[in-house]
Chain A
Amino acid sequence: MAAQASPAQASTSGTTGLRPAVVIGGNRIPFARSNGKYSTASNQEMLTAALDGLVARFGLQGQRMGAVAAGAVLKHSKDFNLVRESVLGTALSPTTPAYDVQMACATGMEAIGSLANKIRLGQIESGIGGGVDTTSDAPIAVSEGLRAVLLELSRARTLQQRLGALSKFRPKDLTPNAPGTGEPRTGMSMGDHQAVTTAAWGITRQAQDELALASHRNLAAAYDRHFFDDLITPFRGVSKDTNLRADSTLEKLGTLKPAFGRNLGEKATMTAGNSTPLTDGASAVLLGSEDYAREHDLPMLANFVDFEAGAVDFVNGEEGLLMAPAYAVPRLLARNGLTLQDFDFYEIHEAFAGTVLSTLAAWEDPDFCRDKLGLENALGSIDRGRLNVNGSSLAAGHPFAATGGRIVATLAKMLHEKGSGRGLVSVCAAGGQGVVAILEAR
């Protein structure tokens, strides 16, 4: 063992000696494009619907779960206890503790992963992890100027102080602040950041469109063979993800104009077709110990083996915004004694087709793996026939915090159907972060 710590070197604590955390099942509502079918649905309503479906499917009525952990990326301040409030609206026992998690698009993965850890440590027997997001029913805040005036007004004790506060009001302060997808420290949108990374790795438009097309075809085929029948509960008259375009073609995708990285000129390759749209939706995953599953006669689809978070310095241009999983995966592999090729399924979240393809290109690149990951050899390529085989975010859509739950439930079911093998999950997130995980079939 080299003594020098490298970026890819894992902690040596290991993960053995703990009991398994088992994925029992999942439930989500169909994802809907922003300002469409769910435009008036709140985060609490959608998360409650996803939990209700899970409770009904697994007979959890009246049960006191160990914990429910979920979150939303775009959250109203009134939703400070979003998950607890949602739980109180379900048939779960009101004595079930719940808490909110927030880690941008990795919210769902962090919620599920830390619940799995608690189960493995024996602290809880069961848990529900997931997430929800709406960009339609988004929180809109008053401007900083108006907020400052209102706060000063609330502190004012005398008429003079009140008038003083009011005198600071300016008409332009009436313009409200709506949330955006821009990175606070760089001012660039996530898409524009990824466009720089996509161009740096030389990912072609053709390759991105092909990945997008495969996502739609794979998701459509999964619906056709009723794969999602026990993973989705209809909501507001929707029974299938509304972004799915089963009849999409490379020709149609090829006609779209670049939507991101337009400053790159001819190198701009990212369109609305090979990028995820803004989406509304919610998901939930039921986890438990083996004892819990047996006691309640519940299925055991897969073990949630281990997970790892990563982060990169995108602010100073050291790395692309969405490349953190490229660094987290080798650490996770090393800790678990695995290679990148030891998996039967790869679930790489399609924030943008360019994100998936840049990550794969990085793992195939010996210079990147040596200079950035500190590895002797490249991690190598994967069998592309094992990548996102039941579709991913380009087709299903991506309600930020709900994506982790969609992926874990889908992968656990795929592994259980196959009856053996492992799956690798990789989810990138705003702020230059990401969470990756390993699941194992049961």
Chain B
Amino acid sequence: MSRRDVRLDAVPALPRLYAEALANQVRTKLTGSSGALVLPEVEHSVDGVRADVPRLEAYQQLVGDTVRPTLPSVFVHGTVFPVAMSVLAARDFPLPLLGMVHLSNQVEHLRPIGVDEALDVRAWADKLRDHHAGTAVDVVCEASVGGEVVWVGTSTYLAKGIWAGQRPERRRDRPEFVAPVQTGAWRLGAGAGREYAAVLGDYNPIHLGALPAKALGMKRQIAHGMFLAGKALAQTAPREGGYHWDIVFEAPVLLPATVSFGVATTDRLRSFEGWNATSGRRHFHGAVRPL
């Protein structure tokens, strides 16, 4: 690998990154200099990242996870992901960060991570590719403790309506969603996005309120995908040991909402789905497998 290392002093603040991204997008619009769709050969890194205990407890209480001094996988994501956002918000990143759609996550949570462990984080973008609705890209984050990789997360994003080459054919429609056995119901208030943002700092405007969401083309504010993932994992993640998990996002959860939730276990694989019982549309599906 020949990625240039961009070393950051600390985990950057998301609001500043969003502001920079916005400025870059406006500049690109004004100058029309979007350039070629090529990923920069860089990785951004920060060493010695530590979790904040009050923030950890606030997160665990918010998503209904057990309050204990080890880091839930989505909390790790929330802690280290601003390093990845720094890659996406930089001027050399070819896609517009604001308005990108979060498609999925795949995470290797290799072992329990204590709240007092210092994480060395690096992040890069990978696998820029055509998608029928735009251009997709993987954003990879890796956290290590003293040289041992403990957590690797791949988030896939979509920049709608932008293609590097030929626009691919739309896949055949996915089979009609049939609701599984319901095991839970999540009542999410209009302020669920603001509550999650207050804990993990992700103040993306599409999650905050109806007006900012509408300004970015949403009908109303939507729940953070990682908030939904965090609630799902609070129930389904193993209580000890490492695990792999993934989640695929489909219809966004417009707030306020009641999300129907279902878990099913076969052998060691625990799969889950969230859906809207009224519209019959699926919001997300995923699975957890102990390592």
**A→B interface (CB under 8 Å):** 184-188, 192, 196, 200, 263, 314-318
Contact = CB atoms under 8 A, between A and B. Distances in A.
Given A185-B64, A263-B260, A263-B277, A315 B185 contact: no
A188 B185 contact: yes
Contacts of A314: 183
Q: Is the interface of A mostly helix, strand, loop or mixed?
A: loop
A316 B185 contact: no
B247 interface: no
Contact of B183 (A184, A263, A317): A317
A263 B181 CA distance: 11
Interface in B200-235: 235
A196 B64 CA distance: 23
Given A316-B236, A317-B263, A318-B265, A186 B183 contact: yes
B277 A317 contact: no
Nearest to B184: A186
Contact of A187 (B181, B185, B236, B262): B185
Q: Which 10 A-B pairs have the closest CB atoms?
A: A186-B184, A263-B277, A317-B183, A317-B263, A187-B185, A316-B263, A188-B185, A187-B184, A187-B186, A317-B264
A130 to B, nearest CB: 33
B160 interface: no
Contacts of A192: 182, 185
Interface string B171-198: 0000000010111111100000000000
Contacts of B270: 316
Contacts of A185: 64, 184, 235
Nearest to B189: A172
Given A315-B235, A316-B235, A316-B270, A186 B185 contact: yes
A318 B266 CA distance: 10
A185 B235 CA distance: 8
Contacts of A184: 64
Interface of B: 64, 179, 181-187, 235-236, 260-265, 270, 277
Given A316-B265, A317-B181, 7 more contacts: A185-B64, A315-B184, A315-B263, A316-B236, A316-B263, A317-B265, A318-B265
A318 to B, nearest CB: 6
Nearest to B258: A187
23 contacts: A184-B64, A185-B64, A185-B184, A186-B235, A186-B261, A187-B186, A187-B187, A188-B185, A192-B182, A192-B185, A263-B179, A263-B277, A314-B183, A315-B235, A315-B263, A316-B235, A316-B236, A316-B263, A316-B265, A317-B183, A317-B264, A317-B265, A318-B265
Nearest to A189: B185
Contact of B262 (A200, A317, A318): A317
A234 B235 CA distance: 46
A188 B184 CA distance: 5
Most buried by B among A187, A196, A315: A187
A263 B64 contact: no
Contacts of B182: 188, 192, 196, 263
A185 B181 CA distance: 16
A315 B260 contact: no
Nearest to A188: B185
Nearest to A197: B181
Most buried by A among B64, B184, B270, B277: B184
A188 B260 CA distance: 9
Given A187-B187, A316-B270, A200 B181 contact: yes
Nearest to B259: A187
A315 B235 CA distance: 7
Nearest to A262: B277
A318 B235 CA distance: 13
Most buried by A among B64, B263, B264: B263
A197 to B, nearest CB: 9
A150 to B, nearest CB: 18
A65 to B, nearest CB: 40
